[in-house]
Amino acid sequence: MKYVQNFIPLENHLFLSALIGLIPIAFFFWALAIKRMAAYKASLFTLLISLVISVTVYRMPVTLPIMSATQGAIYGIIPIGWIIVTSVFLYKLTVKTGQFDIIRNSVVSITEDRRLQALLVAFSFGAFLEGAAGFGAPVAISAALLVGLGFSPLYAAGICLLANTAPVAFGAIGSPIIAMAGPTGVPALEISKMVGRQLPFISLFIPLYLIIVMAGFKKAKEVLPAIAVSGLSFAITQYFTSNFMGPELPDVLSALVSLVVLAIFLKFWKPKSIFRFSHDEAAATLSSSKSILPAKTYTKWEICKAWSPFIILTILITIWGIPQIKNALTGHYIGTNGVLKVLNHIGSWLSFNPNVPWLNNHVINGNGAPIAATYKLELLGAAGTAILIAAIVTKFILKISWKQWFSVFNETIQELKLPVLTIVLVVAFAYVMNSSGMITTLALALAKTGALFPFFSPVLGWLGVFITGSDTSSNVLFGALQQVSAQSIGMNPILALAANSSGGVTGKMISPQSIAVACAATGLIGKESELFRFTIKHSLFLLLIVCVITFIQSTFLTGMIPK
């Protein structure tokens, strides 16, 4: 039972085929943005629609899309769902033990201004987590932190999704760009250089845009010095690291530089007025009573102890992201280091990659090669496991009983059942669209735009990340197509590859997976449609900017393209 992917199921009618392939995506947009349907219901109906189209229009044998959906569903549980559960669990431990009150106090001691807190937590700290781990952890953790600081859940989720735009292309130790290098044959450093000549413009703009969205242009002008420090330090570091070091460290180093530089800057500069949200009554009361009641102070040891869960988390996430260690944790290490060999043995024992029945090697791609299909269950190597270990260490540091520890864990699972179900269904329909060829049909239609292809090239990346939830997956999916399409019209293929990755970062904030993660972390369960409506306009606006940048670089500023 073989299926040869047919990217034009309606013979000689590419654009009509593309319109049919667009139906699941269009339905999902309509269900969330207009109908305001619950995310798990919208995801379920979208999955069913994609299954029907794959069988009736793309003529896949029924078993294949069903098994493809199971492959996506498993990936939705591990690693994605696992990250959400453990991230929220770790955050809840700090809340239940009262440590988050100290964390809040320590952030407020740097600045009480909500605008500046957003730059520190959502932009800089979130970018660090994206660079170290990716796969939902940055949004889950930073959004939860903002809610704990007093941000409204919708703003916390929306701001973190928007801030996460800057680092996505170099996330998870450069995975998106490294993954693209394989199928295209273009060195990762060359792609990194070109992305590093596009994204710094976005990274420089994001802090300003973030504050305008939060507080309006007038309020943003009040903190322009801090915005400039945050954006410039991040963008400059991102440019130099991506162009001279490669794709692995731009996020980690840019985030650390911007975080430290901004924190130091705020020691010497303060805004003339403190900005708070209208609902922020508690903070307003605190501010008005300062002259009467002294603010509670904590020792350095108390502050370090309160932050220790996130310090440990940061260390472990960074370790988990180191390529050699990551290979050992997943049972793929080849080397002589004794410690890594032991880890590799344990990682092999805790990694399960069985073939997907009736699907593995049964789908033939456009090049005539069978596509391998496995259930990827790498338990030790998953970022969520690193977060769980941080939660176990936290149990001893904060002296929590095992009874309380498990009680909070169970409470977390009960709260996150629907968000995880949503993610499972979303990733399932993404896999169905991919295996049937629907995504490639849409890509081929965009590639037919001829001389305008440099403008539309980032849209492919945006579409890929919206569907798959991953810039890495989008780059693997469309990298070769971008390369061939660019060569056919005389566009530099390195620019097209970079445009795919840069365009993809603007789709991350509307990806159903990202929406579900953000809602789960901030308690917005059942309100995914509201968050989607909040982010969609920003996603399209930023995509337009990347399209314009790519077109200008292709036509007027070709000197910016690496030789």
Task: Report pLDDT for 296.
Answer: 67
Task: Report pLDDT for 292.
Answer: 41
Task: Report pLDDT for 521.
Answer: 81
Tell whether the model's pLDDT for residue 286 goes beyond 50.
no
Largest CA distance in the chain: 78
Instruction: Please check whether residue 431 is in contact with residue 69, taking contact to mean a CB–CB distance below 8 angstroms.
Output: yes
Tell whether the model's pLDDT for residue 279 goes beyond 70.
no
Q: If you count them, how many residues does the chain have?
A: 563
Choose between 212 and 155: higher pLDDT: 212
Tell whether the model's pLDDT for residue 135 goes beyond 70.
no
The pLDDT > 70 percentage for the chain reads: 95
3-state SS, residue 469: coil
pLDDT band at 288 (very low <50, low <70, confident <90, very high): very low
Rounded mean pLDDT, 189-201: 93
194-221: burial string, b at 16+ Cβ within 10 Å, e else: bbbbbbbebbbbbbbbbbbbbbeeebbe
Query: In 3D, which of 64, 10, 2, 53 has the Cα closest to residue 435?
Result: 64
Task: Report pLDDT for 285.
Answer: 52
Tell whether the model's pLDDT for residue 278 goes beyond 90.
no
Task: Report pLDDT for 117.
Answer: 92
Task: Report pLDDT for 287.
Answer: 47
Judged on CB neighbours under 10 Å (0-12, 13-18, 19+), 280 is middle
Range with the largest mean pLDDT of 223-227, 432-436, 446-450: 223-227
Tell whether the model's pLDDT for residue 19 goes beyond 90.
yes
Q: Quick: pLDDT tens for 220-269.
A: 999 999 999 999 999 999 999 999 888 877 888 898 899 999 999 999 99
Task: Report pLDDT for 427.
Answer: 79
Q: Which residues contact 19 (CB under 8 A, 6 or more apart)?
A: none
Distances (CA, A) of 45 to 26, 49, 52, 240: 12, 6, 11, 45
Task: Report pLDDT for 289.
Answer: 44
Please state, in angstroms and rounded to a whole number, the distance separating the CA atoms of residues 428 and 76.
Answer: 8
Number of H helices and E strands in the chain, helices first, is: 29, 5
Choose between 456 and 446: higher pLDDT: 456
Q: How many CB atoms lie within 10 A of CB 541?
A: 11
Tell whether the model's pLDDT for residue 494 goes beyond 60.
yes
Question: Measured at the alpha carbon of residue 169, what is the angle toward residues 491 and 79, in degrees to the nearest 5?
Answer: 130
User: Which DSSP state fits 7?
Assistant: S
Query: In 3D, which of 376, 332, 349 has the Cα closest to residue 470?
Result: 376
Task: Report pLDDT for 290.
Answer: 44
Q: Quick: pLDDT tens for 151-170.
A: 888 889 999 999 998 888 88
DSSP string across 256-281: HHHHHHHHHHHHH---SS----TT-H
Task: Report pLDDT for 213.
Answer: 92
pTM of the model: 0.76
Task: Report pLDDT for 280.
Answer: 63
Please state, in angstroms and rounded to a whole number, the distance separating the CA atoms of residues 373 and 63.
Answer: 14
Residue 541 has which token pair? 């606006």
pLDDT band at 101 (very low <50, low <70, confident <90, very high): confident
